Amino acid sequence: MCLGVPLKIVSIENDKEALGEMNGIEKKIRIDLLPDIKCGDYVMVHAGFALEKIDESLAKDTLDALEEVRKMMADK
């Protein structure tokens, strides 16, 4: 099973790398596959690569779902 995580692009370092953020955590990611990405965009990231540009509402829905799973796992 693969898991993609939504990140918001906070800075672009060059045409291949960017800094993404989720819940205050920043991660350096590759943006080679998405040449039209700009700061403020949301992307789905897997294995350190931005694979798809997504809208903000999908990013927030995905983060909410991941938080619910985290809470369920903590209750076990």
pLDDT tens-digit profile of 3-36? 789 999 999 998 899 999 998 999 999 999 998 9
Domains in the chain: ranges and CATH:
5-74 (2.30.30.140)
47-56 pLDDT tens trace: 999 999 999 9
Phi-psi region of 12 (alpha: psi -120 to 50; beta: other; left: phi over 0): beta
- Alpha-carbon distances of 53 from 19, 66, 67, 74, rounded to whole Å: 15, 19, 21, 31
pTM score: 0.86
**How far is the C-alpha of 75 from the C-alpha of 42, rounded, in Å?**
30
Kind of pairing between the strands at 5-12 and 17-22 = antiparallel
> Which has more confidence, 76 or 65?
65
**How far is the C-alpha of 51 from the C-alpha of 43, rounded, in Å?**
7
